[in-house]
């Protein structure tokens, strides 16, 4: 008899200091920098930060790794990870390898779609942060969420 093992879903969970609350874009930057330091800097990556009802991080998942200029995101993949991590709230983070954190029309569209999906599932979308070279763009800080 031959047995096979198939991994269907992987989530990386790192426990953070219970005092760390993540809501402001500065907090997101502090948490996201070490995550993105381990990823290829010349590709776009989309990361989900899952938070509990007190805005403390439950874990995170790299949802997508793309190319120099794009990363494909499917709301089903994002919220499957959020549900798996028992998220009460989420923060989305992705990088722009160009160094310019200004959102594209596609970034704005996927943020709107992800927020709508979160509302249907009862999961709060706190922010979508785009990392640039030395600065970031926060949809929440700009009043767009």
Domain membership of residue 6 (yes or no) is no
Domain membership of residue 62 (yes or no) is yes
**Which domain, by its residues, includes 50?**
25-138
Report the C-alpha gap between 96 and 34 in whole angstroms. Answer: 16
Q: What is the dihedral of CA 116, 68, 12, 141, to 10 degrees?
A: -50
Would the pLDDT of 14 be above 60? no
Task: Tell me phi and psi for residue 3, to 5 degrees.
Answer: -115, 140
CA distances from 68 to 7, 43, 59, 71 (A): 28, 5, 26, 8
Domain membership of residue 39 (yes or no) is yes
CA distances from 97 to 16, 25, 45, 80, 145 (A): 27, 19, 9, 26, 24
Tokens describing residue 140: 């929440």
Domain membership of residue 60 (yes or no) is yes
| pLDDT bucket at 7, cuts 50 / 70 / 90 | low
Q: What percent of the chain has pLDDT over 70?
A: 85
Specify the pLDDT at position 18: 44
Q: How many domains does the chain have?
A: 1
Domain membership of residue 88 (yes or no) is yes
Would the pLDDT of 99 be above 90? yes
* CATH number assigned to the domain comprising residue 67: 3.40.140.10
Domain membership of residue 10 (yes or no) is no
Query: For 15-71, what is each residue's pLDDT tens digit?
Result: 444 444 555 788 898 999 999 999 998 999 999 999 999 999 999 999 999 898 888
């Amino acid at each position: 008899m031959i047995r096979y093992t198939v991994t269907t879903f992987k989530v990386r969970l790192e426990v953070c200091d219970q005092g760390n609350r993540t809501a402001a874009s500065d907090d997101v930057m502090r948490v996201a920098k070490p995550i993105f330091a381990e990823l290829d800097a010349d590709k776009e990556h989309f990361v989900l930060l899952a938070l509990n009802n007190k805005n403390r991080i439950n874990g995170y998942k790299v949802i997508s790794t793309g190319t120099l200029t794009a990363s494909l995101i499917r709301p089903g993949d994002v919220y499957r990870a959020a549900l798996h991590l028992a998220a009460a709230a989420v923060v989305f983070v992705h990088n722009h390898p160009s160094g310019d954190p200004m959102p594209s029309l596609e970034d704005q569209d996927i943020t709107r779609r992800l927020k709508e999906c979160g509302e249907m599932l009862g999961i709060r979308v706190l922010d979508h942060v785009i990392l640039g070279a030395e600065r970031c763009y926060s949809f929440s800080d700009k009043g767009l969420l």
